Amino acid sequence: MLPKDDLNIITKEMGREPNLVEQGCFLNLWSEHCSYRSSAPLLRTFTTTGDRVIIGPGDDAAIVSIGDGWVLAIGMESHNHPSYVDPYNGSATGVGGIVRDIISMGARPIALMDPLYFGPLDSPKNLYLFEHIIEGIAGYGNCIGVPVVRGETFFDKSYSGNPLVNVVCIGLAREENVVTACAQKAGNKVILMGSTTGRDGLGGASFASRDLSESAEAEDRPSIQVGDPFTEKLVIEATLEVIKKGYVKACRDLGAAGLAGASSEMASKGKLGIHIIADNVILRETNMTPYEILIAESQERMVLEVEPGDVDAVFEIAKKYDLNVSVIGELTERKYYTVEFKGEIVADMPIMFLNEGAPTFERPSEEPKPREIGEKPALPADLKQAVLDVLSSHNVASKDWIYRQYDHEVQVRTVVKPGEDAGVLRITDTTGLALSCGCNPRHTLLDPYKGAKGTIYENAMNLAVKGARGVAIVDCLNFGNPERPDIYWQFKHGILGLGDGARELEIPVVGGNVSLYNESGEFNTAILPTPSIGMVGVVDDINIAPSATFVNEGDTVIFIGDIRDELGGSEYYSIIDKGTTGHVPTVPDNASEIVDKVIDVVRSGKITAAHDVSLGGLAVALCEMCGTKGAQVDVSAIGGDLRADDVLFSESQACAILTTSEPNAVLAMLKDVSATVIGTVGGDSIKISSNGIEISLSHDEISWARSSLTRLMME
C-alpha cells in the first residue's frame, strides 16, 4: 500500500486518486530500491566522470573505455532479501539480473565477482543459507558460461538474519555496438523478448525496501523470482545479435519493478511516453491481472525499442533462439505511461512524474557517542598459536571450497584464478584486466569514514600488486534502516569516505546500487555497515603479473608501508573478543603515492611475488605467501616500539609485501616511500622474528589452519 504522504502527492499531481494498478506502479518505482529517495543527495557527492568514462551512473551499466575501440560495461547489484527467503533462487537471479544489465548495453559478459556476507556457520540456519547461496551462484553462472573470477566471503553474527549477496559483472564490447536505455523516437515499437511472464517476483522492489520480518520466509516467497539459466544463455546470444545487427535503438532488462520499471524508464529517459498493450505480454499463468503483468519480476526478459520495419527481423532472431517475443506497445509523443488491457485503459500516469517525481531528501543523522579505545589486552603467551587462530578463522581461511564450485576457466580469459588479491583476465595477447571486490565491515562499523576510505585503498592495492591501475569503481552500499539516525549517519559518512578515497586515487565511481533496510526482526539487529565495492584496473602486460606466493630461493622480501597501532576492527581482536576496542586503521597521507609506486615497480618486471597486507595483518600475508617455499623474516625493523601483536595483526592501510632478485634496483624505485628489507625466501617454513620472539610455522600447519572452512564443509 502506498504511504499516505506519497498518495497525497500523487493525487495532487494527477488531479485524481490513482487506481490500484497505478498505485502498484508508484509503490515500486518510488521505493527506496528504485528511486534512491534518501540516498540520491549523498550519491551526488561521488566523482563519476573521467577520461575513460563514456556512460556513467543512470543506465543499466556504466561504459568505460580501455583503448583501441574496446569498452567495458560494469555493474554491481544486490539480491539480499530474496537470498534470505529463498537462498538458491535469490542468489541465482541476482547473477541473472546483473548479467542482463550488461548485455542490455550491447556487451558480452566476461566475468563475475561475488562479495558475500553471512552469519557464523555454527548455526544450522546460517550453514543452510551459505550452502544454498553458493549453490545458486554456481548453478546459474556455470550454466550461462560467465566465469566467477573473484569474490569475498565475510562472516559476522550481524548477518545471521540478513545475509548479503552482492554481484559484480564485467562485459566487453566494441564502442560502436553500445546501446543505452534511452528511447529514441516516437512511433518505434516496443518488443518484449525472452521468457514468459508469471507471478514470481511480485513487488520485489518494494520488498527490497523494508526490513525482513521473522516470518519472511513464508510471507515473502511470492516476491522471489525463479531463474532459468538456460533461457538466460539464449537471451544473451539473441540480445547481442539483434544489437550487433543494428535493429535495437534502446534496450533495458526487466529487473526491479518488472515491465512497469523497464518500459517506463526507457521512455522517460528519451523524454517520450509509451502505450503498453498488456494483452500482448506472453504469460505463463492464467487470469493474470494488469497489476501482476506490469509488476511481476519474472526473469530472463528484455525490452527493446525497434523501428517498425525491423520488427520481423527481430522476431526471426528471437525464434531462432526459441525465445518468446511480442510487440507490447509503442513509444508516443504524449509523455504518459498508458496501459491498455482488454480494450480499456487501466493506467495513465505522467511518465516523468512516475520515474522522476519521487521526493528525495536527506534523513536526520546522529553521530553515536564517542567510542572508547579501551585498554590493550595482554600479549598472548603463545604468538604462534595466535597466528594459527587468525589464519584458521573463517574470514581469513582459504575459500577454495567456494570457488571450486565455480567455473572460472570458461571463456579461457582467466589468467589469475580466484584465491589471490585480484583476478586477472586476458583481453589481448598482452593486455588484461585486474578485478577486486569487497570491504572490511568491522572497520566501517567502528569508523564509517575511515573504514570506507580504507575499502578504496585496499582494493586499489589488490590491483596494484598485479601491476594494474584502477580505472572504475562500482559500489553496493549495504546498510540497515535509514530511518534510524545512527544508521543514516553511518551511511552518509561511509559514502563520504568512499568518495574521498576514490578522488585521491583518481578513480571514478561509475555506478552501483544501494541496499538499505538490511535488518532482521528475528535477531533485532542491523547488519554491519557494508559499503562493498568492485574495482577494475588495466594491466599493460599480463605476462609480468607477479605470483602471490614465494617463487625463487634467495629472493629478497621487502615490506612497503608502515604498520601502526591499529588493531581496531581487526580479525585478531574479533577472535579475542575485543572487537570494539583499539584504533581503526587510518589511510596515510601518502597512500596514493604508495599505490602508484607499487604499480610502477611491478610493471618494471623486477618483482617475482607480491601480496597486499590487509585482513589478518602481516602475519597472515606472510603465511599466505608460503606455497611451495617459505621465508625467514625479521619484522622488528618495521614495528618500531609497537608490541609484537600490533606488528603481526594490525590491518594498516597501504601496505604490501614484494619479493625480488634485484633488491637494489627495486629499493631505488621505492626510495620516496617506506620500504624495508625484512628477509629472504627459502626453506620449508615461515619464521617470523619480532621483539625477540620467533615463530616457526611449517607448511602442514599453515595448510591445516587455512583449510578450516573446507574441512567444515566436507564433514
Give the residues across from 538 on adjacent strands.
433, 469
- Does residue 68 form part of some domain? no
Separation of alpha carbons 3 and 358, rounded Å: 12
Q: Are strands 108-118 and 70-78 parallel, antiparallel or unpaired?
A: unpaired
Examine the pLDDT at 563 and tell me if it is beyond 90: yes
- From the candidates 33, 394, 408, 611, give the one annotated as an active-site residue: 33
- Does residue 578 form part of some domain? yes
- Does residue 604 form part of some domain? yes
78-115 pLDDT, tens digit per residue, is 999 999 999 999 999 999 999 999 999 999 999 999 99
Backbone φ/ψ region at 185: left (φ over 0), alpha (ψ -120 to 50), beta: beta
- Does residue 686 form part of some domain? yes
Q: Are strands 631-634 and 189-194 parallel, antiparallel or unpaired?
A: unpaired
Query: Using alpha carbons only, how large is the chain's radius of gyration in Å?
Result: 26
Strands of 164-174's sheet in order across: 53-55, 62-67, 70-78, 164-174, 108-118, 148-155
Percent of all residues in the chain with a pLDDT value above 70, rounded to a whole number = 96
Examine the pLDDT at 220 and tell me if it is beyond 50: no
Q: So what's the pLDDT on residue 212?
A: 57
266-288 pLDDT, tens digit per residue, is 999 999 999 999 999 999 999 99
Which of 80, 66, 55 is CA-nearest to residue 480? 80
Q: So what's the pLDDT on residue 637?
A: 87
Residue 409: pLDDT band (50, 70, 90) is confident
Extract the C-alpha cell encoding 122: 555454527
**How many domains, the chain?**
1
- Does residue 648 form part of some domain? yes
422-465 pLDDT, tens digit per residue, is 999 999 989 999 999 999 999 999 999 999 999 999 999 999 99
Examine the pLDDT at 664 and tell me if it is beyond 80: yes
593: CATH: 3.90.650.10
Please write down the long-range contacts of 696-701, taking CB distance under 8 Å and 24 or more positions apart.
696/384, 697/384, 697/387, 697/388, 697/623, 697/626, 699/626, 699/630, 701/388
Q: What are phi and psi of 506, to 5 degrees?
A: 60, 45
Residue 697: pLDDT band (50, 70, 90) is confident
DSSP 373: -
Which of 155, 147, 93, 95 is CA-nearest to residue 123? 155
23-73 pLDDT, tens digit per residue, is 999 999 999 889 999 999 999 999 999 999 999 999 999 999 999 999 999
Separation of alpha carbons 533 and 422, rounded Å: 13
Extract the C-alpha cell encoding 310: 525491423
Q: So what's the pLDDT on residue 223?
A: 53
Give the residues across from 676 on adjacent strands.
559
Examine the pLDDT at 221 and tell me if it is beyond 60: no
Q: Are strands 631-634 and 685-690 parallel, antiparallel or unpaired?
A: parallel
What average pLDDT does the chain have? 94
| Residue 33 annotated in active site | yes
Separation of alpha carbons 66 and 434, rounded Å: 12
Mean local confidence (pLDDT), 340-353: 98
12-30 pLDDT, tens digit per residue, is 999 999 999 999 999 999 9
- Does residue 566 form part of some domain? yes
Q: So what's the pLDDT on residue 700?
A: 82
End-to-end CA distance of the chain: 47
- From the candidates 79, 275, 394, 408, give the one annotated as an active-site residue: 79
Percent of all residues in the chain with a pLDDT value above 90, rounded to a whole number = 86
Whether the predicted model's global pTM rises above the 0.75 cut: yes
Separation of alpha carbons 636 and 466, rounded Å: 27
Strands of 468-478's sheet in order across: 414-416, 423-426, 432-438, 530-539, 468-478, 509-515
Helix (H, G, I), strand (E, B) or coil at 216: helix
Mean local confidence (pLDDT), 524-547: 95
- Does residue 130 form part of some domain? no
Handedness of CA 570, 572, 574, 577 (dihedral sign): negative
175-218 pLDDT, tens digit per residue, is 999 999 999 999 999 999 999 999 987 865 544 445 555 454 54
127-158 pLDDT, tens digit per residue, is 999 999 999 999 999 999 999 999 999 999 99
Task: Tell me the residue range of the domain where 648 lies.
Answer: 546-715
- Does residue 458 form part of some domain? no
